[in-house]
Amino acid sequence: MIEKVVKIYDVTLRDGTQGENIAFSIQDKLRIASKLDELGIHYIEGGWPGSNERDEGFFKEAKKLRLNKSKIAAFGSTRRVDKKCDEDGNIQSLLDSETPVVTIVGKSWDFHVKEALKISLEENLGIIHDSISYLKKRVDEVFFDAEHFFDGYKRNPEYALKALKAAFDAGADSLVLCDTNGGTLPWEIESILREVISKLQNPPLGIHTHNDGEVGVANTLYAVRLGVGQVQGTMNGYGERCGNANLCSIIPNLKLKLGINCIDDDELRKLYEVSHFIHELTNLPPIKKLPFIGESAFAHKGGLHVSAVMKKSETYEHINPEIVGNRRRVLVSDLSGKSNIIYKAKELGIDLDPSDKKVQKILNELKKLENQGYEFEGADASFELLIRKTLGQYRKHFELKGATIIVEKHRDDEEPISEATVIVEVDGVLEHTAASGNGPVNALDNALRKALEKFYPALKEVKLKDYRVRVVSTGKGTDAVVRVLIESGDGENDWGTVGVSENIVEASWKALVDSIDYKLLKDEAKRAAKARG
């Protein structure tokens, strides 16, 4: 590893919360801060005290956190034009937060000074100097975020440098160059940084980039290669507009590609866990496609790819996924080869002999079903049942003898009433049951499980956690084939099943039956393993 020191400064709790549909409670922010500490992040920017009650509440509670490595930083702006520092509410709120680190944002683009602040360029330099100097006498570390620095430098490099020098002369511990609009390209970052380093004689620098040009991470890496010692960004790339530079990509690139030991190996293995923990608190859809920590980052679908990866993982993987806490996934689809089937079966605890003709039979059946509209990428339970049926390892637990579903609506202003009646046979015994529900599928699910719980009490543990419908063929209007994906859980495990039909209730029935069959199959396997000792 290179001995160069690069400190990671996380702005998820401030910049990240400015992203669309992202809002963290005080408790969420405290939990995130603790997780970031586990990851080995050097600085955690908690928010802007004085701007809102939530951030004030966070800084009050954050004093109770027992952090091992991270330092909490408070963020704010330079003093107001008409206020001295000891009279400025924003500056005093920063001190009241009692953090060991304060970051101050100030104008470095002359356009903003003239148009936004409506003051002279010299007045702005005085404000920067006063604010930094005042805080540096009272706080351990003070960082200066030079807002819009790269845009400002392109238009008036002399003034942008004066803004940096004013902060540095006042005692700033790091001058953070911000690509606030996110439109600067990597070679521009490189060129400007070289000039800054030369003209200011190698000052302590940081980098803060946004991702509006899809080069936030690249810009950050270029900056580090030129000597920048502090990197700012957010977890999962959250942030306003297109987001901030993604620390989940920056950190492993720094450590694994540039050889910079910004966090240690054990901390890096927590990257996937921490990323997904934070994302879970956003209540947003999964982040499958993100590099390094996305569920699809090491997912293989093509048969040739899987065959090669099984021999040498580096054939189609740039790093070992376990280094960042992720894992390899092999997907099964009509693009699959025998290697996919064998690898996936092994994941499911089923050993297949590559020379067994049943492997080809499974593959043929998979491709036939996918042609009909099935998709098994999110339905491992249905795929395992498919394998076991082909191998003769499946026992039918019940048989449907009849089902009736009634949906009634008597008035426009009333909710419809759904009721399902089912007749099932278990070991020669008939059970006739009815149940209502919020819609026909929920009613069918309730009736089916109510009928079977008499024979299989463990089904009481099963809960339907997610239900999704996708139109497979769009050319037939309301007669289109639909795919139903169901996620179920029993408090211990979760599993996915799939059903396909032109009738949405029939497709739902198939997925529901697979879900129940899978639960019963796994329970039988547990009992058998326990009996064996």
Per run of 10 residues, the mean pLDDT along the chain (length 533 residues) is 79 95 94 96 95 89 94 96 93 96 97 92 97 97 98 97 97 98 97 96 96 98 96 97 97 96 95 93 86 85 67 81 84 63 79 83 82 80 88 87 88 86 93 90 89 91 86 64 90 90 90 92 84 74
Distance CA 196, CA 446 (A): 68
Find residue 431's DSSP bridge partners: 424
Closest by alpha carbon to 60, among 96, 12, 18? 96
Quickly list H helices, 144-233: 149-155, 157-169, 186-199, 216-225
Say which CATH architecture domain 398-455 belongs to: 2-Layer Sandwich (3.30)
Check if 7-263 and 398-455 are the same fold.
Answer: no
Residue with tokens 């239900």, as numbered in its chain: 467
Per-residue pLDDT at 242: 96
In Å, how far are 215, 251, 312, 318, 504 from 297, measured between CA atoms?
19, 16, 17, 10, 32
| Strands laid side by side in the 429-437 sheet | 399-408, 417-426, 429-437
Q: What tokens appear for 229 in the block?
A: 């010692």
Say if residues 522 and 508 touch (Cβ distance below 8 Å): no
HSE-up of 504 (CA within 13 Å, CB side)?
12
For the chain, domain boundaries: 7-263, 299-391, 398-455
Q: What is the pLDDT of residues 208-238, one digit of tens each?
A: 999 999 999 999 999 999 999 999 999 999 9
Give the domain 7-263 fold.
Answer: TIM Barrel (3.20.20)
Per-residue pLDDT at 476: 54
Per this entry, what is the length of the chain? 533
In Å, how far are 70, 221, 262, 266, 302 from 5, measured between CA atoms?
15, 14, 7, 18, 41
Per-residue pLDDT at 67: 95
Q: Across the chain, what does the average pLDDT equal?
A: 90
Per-residue pLDDT at 252: 98
Compute the Cα dihedral for 311, 317, 318, 321 and give only its sign.
negative
Q: What is the pLDDT of residues 168-182, one digit of tens each?
A: 999 999 999 999 999
Residue with tokens 């996937």, as numbered in its chain: 272
**Full 3-state SS string of 339-378:** HHHHHHHHHCCCCCCCCCHHHHHHHHHHHHHHHHCCCCCC
HSE-up of 507 (CA within 13 Å, CB side)?
25
3-state helix, strand, coil in the chain (%, to 5): 45, 20, 35
pTM, to two decimals? 0.74
Find residue 424's DSSP bridge partners: 400, 431
Distance CA 386, CA 362 (A): 8
